[in-house]
Amino acid sequence: MIESLGDVNAPATARALLFVCVLVLLPSACAPQPLSVTREPTSLHIVGADSCATLMRDAAATYEEDHLWVTVTSQVLNNALAAEALQEERADLALLSWDSLGTEEHGLWMEPVGRDGVAVIVHPASSFSKIGMAQLREIYRGRLQEHQGDVLTVVSREEGSGTRAALESIVLNGEGTTLNAVVMPSSEAMVDYVAGTPGTIGYVSTRCLDDRVRTLSVEGVQPTESAVASGRYPLWRELHVASRGDPTGEARQFAQWLIRGGGAAD
């Protein structure tokens, strides 16, 4: 009889245990599960001034790492051509080193993303070690052609360069560079020429310097990162991210990320 009662109760006990297990597991089964969202692949095309090339490429690579659904392509142009590509809708965004066009007149949206210096550079054997703004103005207007017995060769960037526009605005008060200047098409070409040609004086973005040339202090201040950031170095300008009208979609996300410091522009 005892064995018979055990056989009868066993199924009931099993059913009770099963019911308890269901109650325990039910909350976790009904809990909301994390959603796995697949982002639609998208692409951005960014153009940038020569002095913004490193910033642009580094920012594009970092953004792609953090936003796997985005492909960012970049193209280096001079400042005027980068702005033109933006206006003609051949680019989603541009990194510009000088506001040559005027944002309001041409419907461009523009925000600063960093500060850059314009370094005055000479051949390592030059007798120059420092220069004042007035003296630099005389040299680039073609009125001062010698220094301590050395004949000077003035080297400039091409028309449309944001770095040239900055120098002509800040140093020459908007006047043009002497027509006798040797013209270089890029920052790299500028450094190469000055480094290899005694008697030359030129200028380049502080982001494009290398140790083959010597930088001059301007008004007693060297173009160090801290001096440029604080404004103590007199030849500085803002770098900007720009778009045709207010950016939208992924272009807006990239621009906001860059403004917040995602590209480490400072």
Same domain for 88 and 178: no
**Does 131 lie in the same domain as 211?**
yes
Contact assessment for residue 126 and residue 202, using Cβ atoms and an 8 Å cutoff: no
Instruction: Dump pLDDT digits (tens) for 44-65.
Output: 999 999 999 999 999 999 999 9
- 147 vs 212, higher pLDDT: 212
Same-domain status, 125 and 202? yes
The CATH number that applies at residue 105 is: 3.40.190.10
Residues 109, 132, single domain; the answer is no
Q: Could you tell me if residue 166 is inside a domain?
A: yes
Please check whether residues 243 and 190 belong to one and the same domain: no
Residues 84 and 139 in one domain: no
Tell me whether residue 24 is in a domain. no
Reported as a pLDDT band with limits 50, 70 and 90, residue 20 is very low
Q: In this structure, is residue 26 part of a structural domain?
A: no
Mean pLDDT score, 99-121? 84
Residue 83 exposed, middle or buried by CB count within 10 Å (0-12, 13-18, 19+): buried
Instruction: Tell me: do 104 and 176 sit in the same domain.
Output: no
Confidence of residue 34 (pLDDT cuts 50, 70, 90): low
Residues 93 and 103 placed together within one structural domain of the fold:
yes
Same domain, residue pair 64 and 143:
no
**pLDDT at residue 213 tops 50:** yes
Of 120, 115, 137, 124, the closest CA to residue 51 belongs to 115
Confidence of residue 22 (pLDDT cuts 50, 70, 90): very low
pLDDT value for 99: 86
Mean pLDDT of 135-160: 93
Q: Give the domain range for residue 169.
A: 116-237
pLDDT above 70 coverage of the chain, percent: 82
Q: Domain check: are 70 and 138 in the same one?
A: no
Residue 255: exposed, middle, or buried by beta-carbon count in 10 A (0-12, 13-18, 19+)? buried
264 in a domain, yes or no?
no
| pLDDT reported for residue 3 | 43
* Structural domains of the chain, count: 2
pTM of the model: 0.82
pLDDT of residue 26: 47
Position 2 in a domain: no
61 lies in a domain?
A: yes
Q: What is the mean pLDDT of the chain?
A: 87
pLDDT at position 32: 59
Question: Are residues 135 and 148 located together in one domain of the fold?
Answer: yes
Is the pLDDT score of 4 beyond 50? Answer: no
* pLDDT for residue 36: 53
Residue 48 maps to a domain? yes
133 and 106 within one domain:
no
Contact (CB, 8 A) for 262 and 59: yes
HEC profile of 101-151 = CCCCCCCEEEEEEEEEEEEEEECCCCCCCEECHHHHHHHHCCCCCEECCEE
| Whether pLDDT at 223 is above 50 | yes
Look at residue 11 and tell me if it is in a domain: no
